[in-house]
Amino acid sequence: MVKLAMIDPKNIRTRIAPSPTGEYHIGHLRTCLYDYALAKKNNGQFIIRIEDTDQKRFVKGSADRTLQTIKDYGLNWDEGPDIGGPHGPYVQTQRLEIYQKYIKELIDKGFAYYCFCTQERLDNLRATQKAQKQIPKYDQHCLNLSKEEIQKNLDNKIPYTIRLVIPKNETIIFEDLIRGKIKFNTNEVDDQVLIKSNGIPTYHFAAVVDDHLMGITHVLRGEEWLTSTPKHILLYRYFDWEAPKFAHLTVLLNPDGKGKLSKRHGATSARSFLDEGYLPEAMLNFLMFLGWNPGTEKEFFTLDEFVQTFSIDHLHKKSPVFDRKKLDYLNGYYLRQKSDDQLFELFKKFLTKASDDQIKILIPVLKERIVKLSDLPVQTKFLFEDVGYDKDLLLKKGTDPKLAIDMLTKSKEVISSNFDNLSTKLMDLIKENNWNVGEFFMVFRVAICGTIFTPPVVECLPALGLEKTLEKIDIALSKLS
């Protein structure tokens, strides 16, 4: 049996409990951020526990990836599966012996019971209830089995689950820190399975036991768990434990404000945003405001500033929209705050084909213009390959082919030896020939980049190099001849 440590009830302790069933959702990261801030502001502890009781959906390596993702966002924990702590183990499948002790206590008290119903019977029961427009729930068929019947079934090794006894027609009242007083009638609550047929506890049972033994004082979680809270309240009552304080956070809405944030509107995993080149500090600043506000006009917060300012009182009841334009704005801001030296390694990660010298040339040119780091490979594609394009693109502004040839031929003469004062030289060339500035640079831009949407071409040419620049102009001329 794992030895359990005593915990100071006055000490604020929060937790997140990711399930290793896939990638860590960005909405979960927001919950993680709020849990972290609440604990750190009050000099408490922030704990991570892996809830791996759903073995059917278990994904190998998911737990490690989740922990690494949270670390990469700069949210460090005080106790957890990788660093241990006085209240471990911090992985639920390593705590099965603990759960056996507490489920036996519930059964002995008459607050839980064996259920030997087959899946076929349960499916038929729920189908009938739905057809009769009743709330689908277990009918307590096994609640009144005699001790002899139960023992006989156990001796015969008939598969079973263990269910929670829900009292009839009782009002469960609890105070939600965001939503205020919440009431549920137990007639609407199912006799929740606490131990599955494989002997592994469900979330509902394991989370309550673990939160109590780990001294969790505040549980922040998504509003989808609101209807499960009465079951958890009953478990705390049955064990004669003090329940933590609950705060059920709003869901994140799609950018159009319609429906829960989904993959149809882009990536939703916390890791994917880092992979796209969003900075951790920008993402955290963005997430802070998805359900919270400081009560002031302050827009930019470091993590430390957020911790000092955070208050549950300022959490919202209305679901926020996941505004990607706002995220892009914040990320662009944070990129521009970094020095060229700080940006060097970030650029290098996303520009794998670029040399160090090329990156040093590109940083001051591009840092004011990119929204996220994954924009870099697209914007600089012309540096590393010849991009195919049609002759018509060179003549996008209705330019006469002969004029385009003249523009590129004379530009080549200006560039032929070096890039010194090239912007001035090209502007002088435009004036001398009385060309339209926009028309000239459209032709020139397409000739070099193969597209009309480009970074500042002239400033990027030193990264391309003289030989390749002249070569690209020759390719464009060949298309026009």
Given a cut of 70, is residue 420 above it in pLDDT?
A: yes
CB of 447 within 8 A of CB of 408?
yes
What pLDDT is recorded for position 294? 94
Give the bridge partners for 16, in sequence order.
48
Given a cut of 50, is residue 5 above it in pLDDT?
A: no
Give the bridge partners for 425, in sequence order.
none
CB of 117 within 8 A of CB of 140?
no
What is the three-class DSSP state of 255? coil
Average pLDDT, the chain: 94
Q: Which residues are known to be catalytic?
A: 263
- State the alpha helices, DSSP H only, in 351-453: 356-366, 375-379, 381-384, 391-394, 401-415, 422-433, 437-449
CB of 63 within 8 A of CB of 18?
yes
Q: Residue 169 — left, alpha, or beta (φ > 0 → left; ψ -120 to 50 → alpha)?
A: left
Query: With 0-12 CB in 10 A as exposed, 13-18 as middle and 19+ as buried, what is 402?
Result: exposed
- The set of residues, in sequence order, having a beta carbon less than 8 Å from that of 402 and lying 6+ positions away, is none
Q: Which helix (H) or strand (E) holds 106?
A: helix 96-109
Q: What is d(CA 309, CA 330) in angstroms, rounded to the nearest whole number?
A: 19
Q: What is d(CA 272, CA 279) in angstroms, rounded to the nearest whole number?
A: 11
Q: Give the C-alpha distances (Å, rounded to integers) separating 397 from 53, 178, 357, 393, 433.
A: 63, 57, 35, 9, 18
CB of 445 within 8 A of CB of 391?
no
Q: What is d(CA 221, CA 54) in angstroms, rounded to the nearest whole number?
A: 18
Q: What is d(CA 15, CA 47) in angstroms, rounded to the nearest whole number?
A: 4
Q: What pTM did the predictor assign? A: 0.91
Given a cut of 50, is residue 15 above it in pLDDT?
A: yes
Most distant CA pair in the chain, distance: 106
Given a cut of 70, is residue 356 above it in pLDDT?
A: yes
What is the three-class DSSP state of 163? strand
Set out the domains of the chain in order of their start, with CATH numbers. 384-480 (1.10.10.350)
Residue type, 455: P
Q: Are strands 180-185 and 112-115 parallel, antiparallel or unpaired?
A: unpaired
- State the alpha helices, DSSP H only, in 138-215: 147-155, 203-213
- The set of residues, in sequence order, having a beta carbon less than 8 Å from that of 7 and lying 6+ positions away, is 13, 87, 214, 215
- Give tens-digit pLDDT for 154-196: 999 999 999 999 999 999 999 999 999 999 999 999 999 999 9
Q: What is d(CA 264, CA 284) in angstroms, rounded to the nearest whole number?
A: 22
CB of 51 within 8 A of CB of 18?
yes
What pLDDT is recorded for position 4? 40
Fill in the DSSP letter of residue 385: S
CB of 38 within 8 A of CB of 220?
yes
Of the pLDDT bands very low, low, confident and very high (cuts 50, 70, 90), residue 6 is very low
Q: Residue 110 — left, alpha, or beta (φ > 0 → left; ψ -120 to 50 → alpha)?
A: left
- Give tens-digit pLDDT for 423-443: 999 999 999 999 999 999 999
Given a cut of 80, is residue 299 above it in pLDDT?
A: yes
Of the pLDDT bands very low, low, confident and very high (cuts 50, 70, 90), residue 263 is low
Given a cut of 80, is residue 12 above it in pLDDT?
A: yes
What pLDDT is recorded for position 385? 87
- Residue 107, phi then psi, degrees to nearest 5: -65, -45
What pLDDT is recorded for position 8? 58
CB of 469 within 8 A of CB of 448?
yes
Q: What is d(CA 180, CA 173) in angstroms, rounded to the nearest whole number?
A: 10
Residues 307-315: contacts with CB within 8 Å, 24+ apart?
307/36, 307/37, 307/40, 307/41, 308/41, 310/34, 310/37, 310/38, 310/41, 312/38, 312/177, 312/178, 312/247, 315/34, 315/177, 315/178, 315/247, 315/249, 315/291
Token look-up 């662009």 returns: 332
